[in-house]
Amino acid sequence: MIAVALASVLLPLAVTAPAVAMPDLTVDLDAGVAAGQWVQNAYGVTFAACMLAAGSLADQFGRRRVLAIGTIVFSTMSAVAALSTDIVVLDIARALQGIGAAGVLTSGAAILAATFSGRRRTQAFGVLGASFGAGLAVGPVLGGALVHLAGWRAVFWLNVVLGAVALALMSRIRESRDPNATRVDVAGLITFSGSLFLLALAFVEGGERGWGDPLTLGSLAGFLLFMAAFVVVEQRVARPMFDLTLFRNPTFVVVVCQPFTITFGFVVLINFLPPFFTGVGGRSSTESGLLLLPLMLPVFALPLLIGRLVADRVSPRVLLTASSVLIAVGSLWLVVLEPGQSAAALVGPLLVFGLGVGSAFGAMDNAAVSVVPVERAGMASGIFNTMRITGETVAIAAAGGFLASYTRGELTDTAPQFTGQADRLAGAATQGRIDAALSTVAPARRPEALDAVARSLTSGMHMAFVFLAVLAAAGALVTYLVVKDRHLADATG
């Protein structure tokens, strides 16, 4: 349990801590806007694309083995990232790190499902949720402190140290696998992983290049082709890695789609609020991390409590519905965000948002593996976490593209005197690099340019918050109407 929990802490740390380090990292490596965005996108794309494949391999070859291999790959690539002197090398390392992360996440959840049952399983997944919460909660603060004290490379060295400790503890885990597994569904692995990679790539490049760009359109066409091939393949194999019959259960469908309403907005906040605070807000990396504490602390503290509540027969449907409602309220409340705002004004909306996310983290994972036989836990975990990471990857890519595009458009409309520099200013502002972008503006006009960029970016953030509120509200309604607690009987004991 300890090894799985510690290994799981690494995965959100690899998202939240680098988000705070991005301004320093991109300046140090002289990275452009697109290359800088791929520091986060590369990790998310491969993480999502390999999730289901990792779950299938864990069921086939052993969950402890895949957990150990995933941790080794993850930690090794963290070291490569820390040593990188070129942004392309760092992006490649992050992509390979995402492959290792997929092995860690799916095998870890499957180990818990195979080891525990009933009330103990619910509590074990509460611990898993708390581990994710811990990584999310300490990531911005710890990342900001490490950047301030030792530079951005320390953020990646931290993963190496924690990964080594987790690996040392894995010898205590009992090996488990699916006794009915026969051979690896190679065709399914290739077609599904390929389709997810192309879908994520389309959103990443669509936000950067535009939706009419040949690469974007080609990626979408490739996604449809690979997905069609995947459906055909899975219908013809005796033991598919993706059991399509599970989607006949509406409860399973809604549960595995929860990340699109629960974590979609969360990753937008943790990836784009820190650059907002350090860029147009003028705060330090450490201050930016501390400002996110009201959001992060509930995500750390609540999963264990929620695990106990579900174990004591509180309805998972009610918990998941309430989580989405809280996220919707917090998102709308966040339209109070302004560059020079006091920290106190942000405590309320961030706390409410964090309460919603923390509540869901205590129930989602367990619910996903509780609607399938235990021997298929790796597959169910893979499906659920594929949805989770795909949602997060799409969220980061779509939000980054939207904020840059919206800021550029607003800047052109409201401050036409900076039209020639709008692309550079907008892209740099979303990454917290506003000082570097302002260096191209005449010194006498820099205060005017900063004010125009701040107003444009803030308006874009407000639009994003409203969209997130609508998405979460829709998720709450669907969850309450569709999810049936009888389908989650094992989750409630």
The answer to whether the CB of 109 falls within 8 A of the CB of 365 is: yes
Between helix 33-61 and helix 63-83 the angle, nearest 10°, is 160
Residue pLDDT tens, the chain, 493 long: 676 777 777 887 887 788 778 878 888 888 766 677 788 878 887 887 787 778 778 877 888 889 899 999 999 999 999 999 899 899 999 999 999 998 888 887 777 777 776 667 666 766 776 777 677 767 777 888 888 888 889 999 998 998 888 888 887 777 877 676 666 677 887 888 788 778 877 877 776 677 788 988 999 999 999 999 988 988 887 767 677 777 777 888 888 888 888 878 888 898 888 888 888 888 887 788 788 889 888 887 777 676 666 555 667 788 888 899 999 999 999 999 998 788 899 999 999 999 998 888 767 777 777 776 666 666 676 678 778 777 877 787 788 878 888 888 888 888 888 777 777 788 778 877 777 777 778 788 888 888 888 889 999 999 999 999 999 999 999 988 887 766 555 444 4
Which single residue is written with the structure tokens 């504490």? 293
CA distance 19 to 147: 11
State the Cα–Cα distance between residues 230 and 49, nearest whole angstrom: 13
**CB 5 within 8 Å of CB 131:** yes
The domain spans of the chain are 2-176+241-405+460-488, 185-240
Whole-number Cα distances in Å, 131 to 175, 307, 362, 480:
21, 13, 10, 27
Q: Say how far apart CA 132 and CA 361 lie, in whole Å.
A: 8
Grouping H, G, I as helix, E, B as strand and the rest as coil, residue 257 is: coil
DSSP 50-82: HHHHHHHHHHHH-HHHHHHHHHHHHHHHHHHHH
Nearest to 158 by CA among 74, 84, 85: 74
The angle formed by the CA atoms of residues 138, 428 and 340, to the nearest 5 degrees, is 65
pTM higher than 0.85, yes or no?
no
CATH number of the domain located at residue range(s) 2-176+241-405+460-488 in this protein: 1.20.1250.20
